[in-house]
Amino acid sequence: MKFAVITFGCQMNVHDSQWLARAMRARGWEEVPEAEAEVFILNTCSVREKPEQKVYSCLGRLAPLIGRAPGRFAAVGGCVAQQVGRGFFERFPFVRLVFGADGVARAPKALDELARDPRARVSLLDFLPGYEEREQALPPAEVTAGEATAVSAFVNIMQGCDNFCTYCIVPFVRGRQKSRAPSEVLAECRALAARGVREITLLGQNVNAFGLDGQGQGVSFAALLDQVAGLPGLSRLRFTTSHPKDLAPEVVEAFARHENLCPQLHLPLQAGSDAVLKRMGRRYDRARYLSLVRDLRSARPDLALTTDLIVGFPGETEEDFGQTLEMMETVRFAGAFSFKYCDRPGTAAERMEPKVDAAQAGERLARLQNLQDRITEGYLGEQVGREVTVLVEGPSRRQDGAGAGAMGRDAWGRVVN
């Protein structure tokens, strides 16, 4: 069968999609551009309203393409699939497979079955008690079409999240935290390095809590990091995402200990006011965050810190918001992803009052983004004239024609064209 994968959401989804495409190719399926596909696999994100809406509009766009052409169908996986489940079968009759976070591992087999039996429908929505290992985890030794970044790879170290930040739907759609066996993580990293992968990013919703669920064979995240960093041939190691409450001193010190641990950390702050952080259920305050930043920068003075910020959380006052701006000025993030708060079904914040007026939240977001633009500009200005080593991932999309260049990243995670 000819298939196309359409991905929304975070790096965990990107990684799941890459794996799924590889598993289907290994089963003899052919990955093609969307216009030529018979089977469409959507990997979806539910973290905010916008990405969720994109899923419905994408299915609407695909409907005429799939039409009544025999044999054609769609599969919906990921976080919206977990949330809506079999509801997709009713709304979009051409959807014949739904699979959630823990269903990914069994999706390739299900897709094969559906291709053979045109009347069947399958749902894989159960959460499993532990991390399920998957078939064909490795990319092929040679660079293949659609996978230009064979020098850089993601490796899952866990699934799910136990934090229940009050605004967040992830724990509901991704399930409880389940650490992967460190021996499996190491085996995959070792095999990737042997295939020429030079950069590995360890992935999880809260990597610093690795093992705290009792499933990590007694290995802490810091210890896992030490083991992976020590693998021969691995020149760059990164990890994401970190929660400030779980970032252990041993992990902070790892930035001084390992030369191949890249000087880059994504450390979501979310808000700068202690009152808002408390209502968000984040379990740290400004002082804790600032002391972490100090420790991190003393371990690695050139560390590039990036963050996530939410404006307009229920009850956020102008003064609370001012404290977020103040934190941004103090920390001087190299970059920030910022979002307007939106209600997500089933979360605690959905029931919190008062909601911030949408126009006011929009105005705050614009002010915040202006400030970050200025900070980012200053930060990038300091880089002018510096020489950096870039790990080339593939041809640059910014340039074409004669003299087209390459695209890669420096150790600080900055894209260089």
The contact set with ligand F3S (CB under 6 A) reads 9-10, 12-13, 45-47, 78-79, 170, 173-174
Q: Are 57 and 22 in contact (CB under 8 A)?
A: no
By beta-carbon proximity to ligand SAH, the closer residue of 22 and 340 is 340
Out of ligand SAH, ligand SF4, ligand F3S, none, which partner does residue 12 contact, by CB within 5 to 8 A per kind?
Answer: ligand F3S
- The b-or-e profile of 139-176 (16+ CB within 10 A means b, else e) is beeeeeeebebbbbbbbbbbbbbebebbbbbbbbbbbe
Using the 8-state DSSP alphabet, how is residue 86 labeled?
A: T
Closest Cα partner for 167 from 361, 13, 305?
A: 361
Q: Does 337 bind ligand SF4 (CB under 6 A)?
A: no
* Binding flag, residue 80, ligand SAH (CB under 6 A): no
Instruction: For residue 415, give both structure tokens.
Output: 């894209």
User: Is 342 near ligand SAH (CB under 6 A)?
Assistant: yes
Binding partner at 9 among ligand SF4, ligand SAH, ligand F3S, none, C-beta below 5 to 8 Å by kind: ligand F3S
For residue 314, state whether it binds ligand SF4 (rule: CB under 6 A). Answer: no
Helices (H), 170-266: 170-174, 182-194, 221-229, 249-257
98 forms beta bridges with 76, 123
List, in sequence order, every residue forming a beta bridge with 392; answer none if it has no partner: 408
- Nearest residue (CB) to ligand SAH, 114 versus 168: 168
> Which one of ligand SAH, ligand SF4, ligand F3S, none is in contact with 344 (Cβ closer than 5 to 8 A by kind)?
ligand SAH
Number of residues interacting with ligand SF4: please give it, by CB under 6 A.
10
Applying CB under 6 A, which of residues 78, 171, 175, 268 lies at the interface with ligand SAH? 268
Give residue 150's Cα distance to chain centre.
18
d(CA 70, CA 118): 8
Nearer to ligand SF4, 103 or 171 (CB): 171
CA distance 118 to 346: 35
**What residue 272 binds from ligand SAH, ligand SF4, ligand F3S, none (CB within 5 to 8 A, per partner kind)?**
none
* Residue 273: exposure state from Cβ atoms within 10 A (0-12, 13-18, ≥19): buried
Backbone angles phi, psi at 247, to 5 degrees: -75, 105
- State the minimum distance, in angstroms, from the CB of residue 351 to ligand SF4: 16
Could you give the string, one character per residue 230-249, with x where binding to ligand SF4 holds by CB under 6 A and - elsewhere? -------------x------
Q: Which of 43, 44, 215, 270 binds ligand SAH (CB under 6 A)?
A: 270
Contact between residue 234 and residue 228 where contact means Cβ atoms under 8 Å apart? yes
Q: Which positions touch ligand SAH (CB under 6 A)?
A: 47-48, 167-168, 170, 205-206, 241, 243, 268, 270, 308, 310, 339, 341-342, 344
Q: Which positions touch ligand SF4 (CB under 6 A)?
A: 161, 163-165, 168, 170-171, 205-206, 243
